[in-house]
Amino acid sequence: MTASDRPYDPEDWPAKYRAAASLPAALAGLPRPWVFTNGVFDLLHRGHVQCLAGARAQGETLIVALNSDASARRLGKGPGRPVQTERDRVWVLAALESVSLVTLFDEPTPTALLARVRPDVYVKGGDYDVGQLEEAALVSSWGGRAMTMPFVAGHSSSHLVERMRATTVS
């Protein structure tokens, strides 16, 4: 079963989760502008939280597209990644006040999902060059805008994993 097919089950998924296939219907009742961001969000940290809060400030509804476990593994972030399962990562993101809806995607980038949702704003962290992203060009094609949030230096899931590994080895 792919991320876009995973059904919403209140026993297993939080209320803010929607399978990608049902996302457009779920968004129909939510206020615009819609803001869209994506990532692995493996070990939630200050940089993530600040980026998500800043993204939400750009509109009324924040949609977070989360790399599925399979997609995250293909990104080459290292052995044992993601540390948390996609379901656990969905639960953590859904608990944040800034997040309106969470969905999953299996592809390397969320371009197909972006084309289906057509958000008003696309946001990435400041460690990305938004001008080089295919997603940014796509959002601009229907009059949306793409932007980055400031990068919070020293805060990354990869850095946290490295610190934990160093601590357990010492």
Segments in 28-85 forming alpha helices (H): 46-56, 69-74
pLDDT of residue 106: 95
pLDDT surpassing 90 at residue 143: yes
Query: What does the pLDDT read at residue 78?
Result: 72
CB 34 within 8 A of CB 120: yes
Confidence (pLDDT) at 155: 52
Superfamily of domain 3-169: HUPs (3.40.50.620)
Would you state the pLDDT for residue 75? Answer: 85
pLDDT digits (tens, 9 = 90+) for 18-27: 999 999 999 9
CA angle, corner 2, sides to 125 and 48, nearest 5? 20
Q: Which amino acid is at 147?
A: M
- pLDDT band, residue 28 (cuts 50/70/90): very high
CB 90 within 8 A of CB 14: yes
The pLDDT score that the predictor gives to residue 97 is 96
For residue 26, the surrounding DSSP H or E stretch is helix 23-27
User: pLDDT digits over 87-106, tens only?
Assistant: 999 999 999 999 999 999 99
pTM: predicted TM-score of the whole model, two decimal places: 0.84
